[in-house]
Structure 1
C-alpha cells in the first residue's frame, strides 16, 4: 500500500500512478526530462500526476502532450492566473448565485468533489447587471485552481486515496434556448479552458432535466467528443434521483435534487466539503510512485 493511502480497496485506474504500462512509464519519464532539459519544468505544478493528465488527454502522444502543456503555460501567463489566485475576489457571488448557480458541494461515494451548475436558473439580464464574462472566467479559473490545490487534496485525505476528478451535475430544468444562446460565449470559453488548460478533471457527469429537444443536439455533439469523455456523461430527464443517489450519499446531495442536505443559507453558497474542515490541515495521501 503506498504511503498515506489508507483505503485497502484502492486500485488506481489505468494511466494513473501505480497503474502504468512499461511504455507509459517510459513516456512519462521522457516527458518530464524533456521539459526539464528545455527549461519548461515548473515543479510546483508539474508533478507526475499532473503530467499524466496531459498525457492521457493526448493518448500518451509525447509531442502532442508537450505542445498542450506548453500552450497551457503560455495561457497562464497571458491570463494572469497567478494574479487571479492571489488577488481576485468574486464579491458578487451571492447575487450571481440567484441568477446562475455554480458551486462545489461535498463529495460523491468515490470521494470526488461534486460540482453543480443550474443552467435552467439562468437570468441573463440580471446576471450581467451583477457581473461580466471577464469576471466569470476569472472566477472559473480561481475555482479550477482551488479544485486542484485545495479540494482534491482534502477529499483525498477524507477517503484515504488519491482523488483526481469531479462529479458534475448540470441541471437543464427550465433552460431557455434564447438565454443559452446569449450566454454561449461564456460557455464556450469556459469549456475551452477546462479541456485545454485543466485536462482530465471530469469523472462523472450527469445532465439532468434534459428537455426532449436536447437529444437532437446531443446527437450532433457526440461524434466530436472523445469516446472516453462520452462514456463519463449520462443524460437524464426528470427521473434522475435514483441515478444520483447511487453515486452520491443522500446526506451530501442537496434536497432540491432528491437528497437530504439542507445547508444553512442554502447549499449553493455553503461551499460545504472536507476542504473547509479542520481535518484538511493534515498531509494528503501520497500518490503511488511512478
Structure 2
C-alpha cells in the first residue's frame, strides 16, 4: 500500500476546515504537520486543528506574546539550565536541558506550574513564528523540527514526581498544538536507574515522542558529534564552542547571529530584555519593601 500523498491530502484538509482555515496564517507546511500527526486521516486532523484554534483563543496566546513577562527566568535558569544553542547538521535548532542541575525542591519556590506553562506557550510560539522561519531561510528549505539533548547526570530521580505533572502537561501541549516539531531526543549520561524512571516517563509523554528518544550513557559524545558539528556543541558537552559569557546563556543561532537577512528581530529578541527588566523591577520593589520594614 502506497503512503499518503501530502499534496493530495492538503486540498481536502482545507475544504474540511472551512472557515477555520486562514490562508494568510496557515501554510501548507503547517497543515501538513497536522495531517502527519493524524496519519493523513482528514476528519481526525480537522478535529485536532479546530481544537488547537479553540485552545489558542481560550489561552489568549496573542496576549501572552504581547504582554507576558517571566521575571523568574534568571533565577529559574540557575536551578534548571535549559537553553537553545545553534543547529545540528540538518539545520534543526538544538535545545539543551541540564536536568542534572535541576533543584526540584526550589523550582516551585521560584515560580508556579501555571506560570511555567504560560512561559512555555510563549516560547513555543516564538519557535513557530520566529526561529523556524530563520532556520528555514538559513537552510534554503523548510526546517520545522528541533533536537533535544537531555543531560540527566546527577538528576535526583526519586524527586521526579514533584515535576512530573507540569512536564507532562508541557509535552502534551507541544504534541497537541505544535505537532511534528520534535525531530530527535538524546538522553545523555543516563545511569542504570534511569531505565526504571523511563517506565514512568513514557506514561506521561506521547508515544510518538518516546519513539524519538535515544538513551545514552556517559559515552554519548560520538553519537552527539555525529548529529551536530563540534563547533556547534558547547565545550562542556564535548564540542569546541565557547560562547562569550557561556553557551548556556548565549541563545545563539540563525535567528540572531546575523547570518540571515531580516534577523534578529527587535520584537522577538526583546522577550529576554523584557523578562530581565521585569526581574529588576521586582527586585527593586522587594528591596524597597525590605527597607521600609527595617524602619
Question: Does 1:108 pair with 2:88?
Answer: yes
Task: Provide the secondary structure at the position in 2 that maps to 1:56.
Answer: helix
Task: Provide the secondary structure at the position in 2 that maps to 1:30.
Answer: helix
Instruction: Show the counterpart of 1:51.
Output: 31
Deviation at 1:59, TM superposition (A): 0.4
RMSD: 2.3
Name the larger-Rg structure. 2
Question: Does 1:242 pair with 2:242?
Answer: no
Deviation digits for residues 88-128 of structure 1 (CA, Å, limit 9, x no counterpart): 12222221111111221111111000011122211123322
Structure 2 residue aligned with 1:127, among 102, 107, 120?
107
Instruction: Show the counterpart of 2:128.
Output: 148
Instruction: Show the counterpart of 1:82.
Output: 62
Distance in 2, Cα, partners of 1:111 & 1:23? 25
Question: Does 1:175 pair with 2:155?
Answer: yes
Q: Unaligned stretches of 5+ in structure 2?
A: 264-295
Instruction: Show the counterpart of 1:261.
Output: 241
Q: Unaligned stretches of 5+ in structure 1?
A: 1-19, 284-290
Aligned length: 262
Deviation at 1:29, TM superposition (A): 0.6
Output aligned runs, 1:201-212, within 5 Å.
Answer: 201-212=181-192
Question: Does the 8 Å contact 1:54/1:65 carry over to 2?
Answer: yes
Give the 3 Å change call, closer, same or farther, for CA 88–280 of structure 1 in structure 2: farther
Deviation at 1:218, TM superposition (A): 3.6
Structure 1 residue aligned with 2:258, among 268, 278, 282?
278
Task: Report the TM-score when normalising by structure 1.
Answer: 0.83
Question: Does 1:62 pair with 2:46?
Answer: no
Distance in 2, Cα, partners of 1:87 & 1:243? 41
Deviation at 1:23, TM superposition (A): 4.4
Deviates more, 1:225-234 or 1:57-66: 225-234
Task: Provide the secondary structure at the position in 1 that maps to 2:245.
Answer: coil
* Larger RCO (CA within 8 A; separation ≥ 6): 1
Distance in 2, Cα, partners of 1:223 & 1:185? 11
Task: Provide the secondary structure at the position in 2 that maps to 1:45.
Answer: coil
Deviation at 1:255, TM superposition (A): 1.5
Question: Does the 8 Å contact 2:189/2:218 carry over to 1?
Answer: yes
Task: Provide the secondary structure at the position in 2 that maps to 1:89.
Answer: coil
Task: Provide the secondary structure at the position in 1 that maps to 2:160.
Answer: helix
Distance in 1, Cα, partners of 2:260 & 2:5? 36
Distance in 2, Cα, partners of 1:28 & 1:177? 44
Instruction: Show the counterpart of 1:35.
Output: 17
Deviation at 1:229, TM superposition (A): 4.3
Structure 2 residue aligned with 1:92, among 58, 65, 72?
72
